[in-house]
Amino acid sequence: MSPGVIVFSETDEGIFELLTKGRELSKLYNTQVSALVIGKKDEKELEKFFEYGAEKVVVWPSENVRTFETDAYVHALFEVTKQNGPDILLIRSSRLGKEVAGRVAQRLQAGCVTDAIGLTPKGSELVVDRYALGGNTISSEIIKTNKKVISVMPRTFEAQPAPVTGKIETVDLEKPPERVELVELRKKVGESANIESAETLVCIGKGLANKEDLAMVKELCSLLKAELGCTRGLAADYHWISEDRMVGISGKRCKPRLDVSIGISGQIQHTMGIMSAKIIVAINKDKEAPIFKIADYGVVGDLYQVVPKLIQRIKAQNN
Amino acid sequence: MHVIACIKQTIDLQQIRIKRDTREAVLEGAPFLFGNMDKNALEEAVRLKEKHGARVTVLSVGAAKLKAGILEALAIGADEACIVMDPACENSDTTSSALTLAEAVRKIGAFDIILVGEGSADNYSGQIPSRLAERLNVPLITYVRELSIESNVVTAVRDMETALEVVRAKTPLVISVTSEINKPRLAPLTQILRASRKPLNAWTLKDLGIDAAKIGSTASAIQVVSNRAPEQERKGVIIEAAADEAVEKLVNALRKEGALP
């Protein structure tokens, strides 16, 4: 019997997702799955993790650990997993989670795989998939150390309720000194954009000639009930669209049912963010553009001709 | 002020070909480049030099091709280069690379800031900043897009998913940067010749007191089972027609898929 699986995320949804997979692994390895929760919570708040299969909720009810206080998060995870603690650590690969994963792994002298997109038990081994070589390949890896730290891409697993009767274990830890002090927290403008969970996504790239032409793209978005996404160029270089809508390796990774990529050449830095889309449509005037290689449907044509026609067509249909 | 910029050379990912039968990547012959975010780290170090008179050391771990590449970093503005070249480093995983970097930093001596990219261009595992800070037991600020320093206090803007976090910490520390922090300059032609006259220290693992058996694929904490291009499950239907006709075909296809009402 393995010492167990523990999941960690700074959001409840993250914990639910990881519990869903952690539950499956713990059954297979004949062990138990627990969740680590940091901060003062009442019993009701903790019990919701039982709904997603947590057999144990380990809580450090510290009142003075602030949001994003990584030193404290790393300390807590290390303390509850060291020695005979759980040996499989599933951490949600948010930016915070990714930092925490690497640091806990180093403290545990453990191997670590970040940004996992799949976890498959094979015999006695756990095979972890992640993108490699800039997204050109998928690397399937086995962590050889006893302790295994895995940060899992958000929404890799769908949270599914599976109620159990679990128990709450309170741990009393000493808070490490705060070496990185928070001065200010600035909410991102346009933060309401939740493109990661959009069912339909329209992505626009540098094929767009003028900022004003975004109106056309936005009209298509509203007709398709789609969220607007963009390449790094349009957000970080041109500042035409806020960065919270940037899709790709340095932006968001999306999993829509339909992605419509318009005027996007298809550099791997961007396409990694749409790779998990169910259907990819590409509209580009360059027939050789790499985006067509990953498209289900590719329309070779000038976006300034195709998009207005598409808008017209959908409008006609809606009427 | 002493700033160390850690940069990594990877093969040019645009040049990768995928073998049709095995779906494995063909890496032979592809040129080596420094990653984009590695260049951001170096650029930020050079800006600290211009603004505060910092001394900049560029540090890199890799194999034989590193020696030519590192001249570019010196031409961009680093004062000194330290490179660790060892055949064992060629297949080193992040655990080993962090160990090698940490030992190299110890050999270099006192530092104020270590700058590193948020992730490498090839694997983007992002473990180096985490592991390096832990090994050196110094504070870590990740995902930095704005940086300022006053005496020994660093103020940084971290780019998190939903918020920008302004934080403060004392040197020495490790900072990982995002691509938004700056626009890296190109190496000025006039500096390229001069770069070869700057100090360049080439070390082996032995020079750092590291047992080569601890580095490289056999010692790795990770075993790669396979590394292949994903199977192409996309339909790859290319529509070449006048806009009217193309849109009609597209809409019909998407309706059939149930992707449009």
Q: Is B26 on the interface with A (CB under 8 A)?
A: no
Q: Are A224 and A260 in contact (CB under 8 A)?
A: yes
A positions 19-48 inside 8 Å of B (CB): none
Nearest CA in chain B to A280: B234
Shared domain for A14 and A155, answered yes or no, is yes
Give a yes or no: residue A301 inside a domain.
yes
Q: Indicate yes or no: CB of A133 within 8 angstroms of CB of B240.
A: no
* Per-residue pLDDT, B217: 75
* Per-residue pLDDT, A193: 67
Shared domain for A199 and A65, answered yes or no, is no
Shared domain for A202 and A163, answered yes or no, is no
Q: Where do the structural domains in chain B lie, given as residue ranges?
A: 2-214, 231-261
A with B: how many residue pairs have Cβ under 8 Å apart? 240
Listed in sequence order, the DSSP H helices in chain A are: 12-28, 43-47, 70-81, 95-108, 214-224, 232, 268-271, 303-318
* Per-residue pLDDT, B218: 77
d(CA B68, CA A9): 43
Give a yes or no: residue A190 inside a domain.
no
Task: Please give the model's pTM, rounded to 2 decimal places.
Answer: 0.89
Looking up residue A229, the CATH number of its domain turns out to be 3.40.50.1220
Q: Are A242 and A221 in contact (CB under 8 A)?
A: no
d(CA A317, CA B125): 46
**Which amino acid type is present at position B78?**
A
Q: Are A289 and A231 in contact (CB under 8 A)?
A: no
Q: Indicate yes or no: CB of A249 within 8 angstroms of CB of B253.
A: no
Q: Are A195 and A253 in contact (CB under 8 A)?
A: no
Domain residue limits at A275: 195-318
- ipTM score above 0.85: yes
Shared domain for A96 and A223, answered yes or no, is no
B2-214: which CATH architecture? 3-Layer(aba) Sandwich (3.40)
CA-CA-CA-CA dihedral for A274, A279, A285, A286, to nearest 10: 60
Number of domains in chain A: 2
Q: How far is A222 from chain B (nearest CA, A)?
A: 13
Shared domain for A127 and A240, answered yes or no, is no
Q: How far is A307 from chain B (nearest CA, A)?
A: 9
pLDDT tens by residue, chain A, 319 residues: 578 999 999 999 999 999 999 999 999 999 999 999 999 999 999 999 999 999 999 999 998 888 788 999 999 999 999 988 999 999 999 999 999 999 999 999 999 999 999 999 998 899 999 999 888 899 999 999 999 999 999 888 999 999 999 999 999 999 999 999 999 998 876 555 678 888 999 999 999 999 999 999 999 999 999 999 999 899 888 889 988 899 987 788 898 999 999 999 998 788 889 988 999 999 999 999 989 989 999 999 999 999 999 999 999 988 7
Shared domain for A246 and A205, answered yes or no, is yes
Shared domain for A29 and A147, answered yes or no, is yes
Q: Indicate yes or no: CB of B236 within 8 angstroms of CB of A293.
A: yes
Mutation target for B interface from A106, A128, A148: give the one with most B CBs within 10 A: A106
Burial call A114-126: b when 16+ CB within 10 Å, e when fewer: bbbbebeeeeeeb
Q: Are A141 and A128 in contact (CB under 8 A)?
A: yes
Give residue for tokens 């180096």.
B128
Give a yes or no: residue A255 inside a domain.
yes
Shared domain for A166 and A200, answered yes or no, is no
d(CA B3, CA B44): 10
d(CA A197, CA A212): 27
Listed in sequence order, the DSSP H helices in B53-183 are: 66-76, 94-108, 127-136
* Cα B228 from chain centre: 22
DSSP string, B94-116: HHHHHHHHHHHHHHH---SEEEE
Give a yes or no: residue A181 inside a domain.
no
Nearest CA in chain B to A299: B239
Q: How far is A247 from chain B (nearest CA, A)?
A: 12
* Per-residue pLDDT, A190: 58
Looking up residue A161, the CATH number of its domain turns out to be 3.40.50.620
Give a yes or no: residue A229 inside a domain.
yes
Name the strand (E) or helix (H) holding B189: helix B189-195
Q: Are A9 and A54 in contact (CB under 8 A)?
A: no
* Per-residue pLDDT, A78: 98
Q: Indicate yes or no: CB of B224 within 8 angstroms of CB of A102.
A: no
Q: How far is B194 from chain A (nearest CA, A)?
A: 32
* Per-residue pLDDT, A267: 84
pLDDT tens by residue, chain B, 261 residues: 999 999 999 888 878 888 888 999 988 888 888 988 999 999 999 999 999 999 999 999 987 778 888 999 999 999 999 999 988 888 788 999 999 999 999 999 999 999 999 988 888 899 999 999 999 999 999 999 999 999 999 999 998 887 899 999 999 999 999 988 999 999 988 898 899 999 999 999 999 999 988 887 778 899 999 999 887 778 999 999 999 999 999 999 999 998 887
Shared domain for A241 and A165, answered yes or no, is no
* Per-residue pLDDT, B3: 98
Shared domain for A127 and A200, answered yes or no, is no
**Which amino acid type is present at position A261?**
S
For residue A252, give the DSSP letter.
Answer: B
Q: Are A59 and A41 in contact (CB under 8 A)?
A: yes
d(CA B238, CA B222): 40
d(CA A284, CA B148): 41
d(CA B193, CA B184): 20
Q: Are A92 and A154 in contact (CB under 8 A)?
A: yes
Q: Which residues of A touch B221 (CB under 8 A)?
A: 110-112, 143-145
Nearest CA in chain A to B133: A103
* Cα A274 from chain centre: 12
Partner-chain residue, chosen from A98, A185, A313, that has the shortest CB–CB distance to B247? A313
Nearest CA in chain A to B242: A301
Q: Is B183 on the interface with A (CB under 8 A)?
A: no
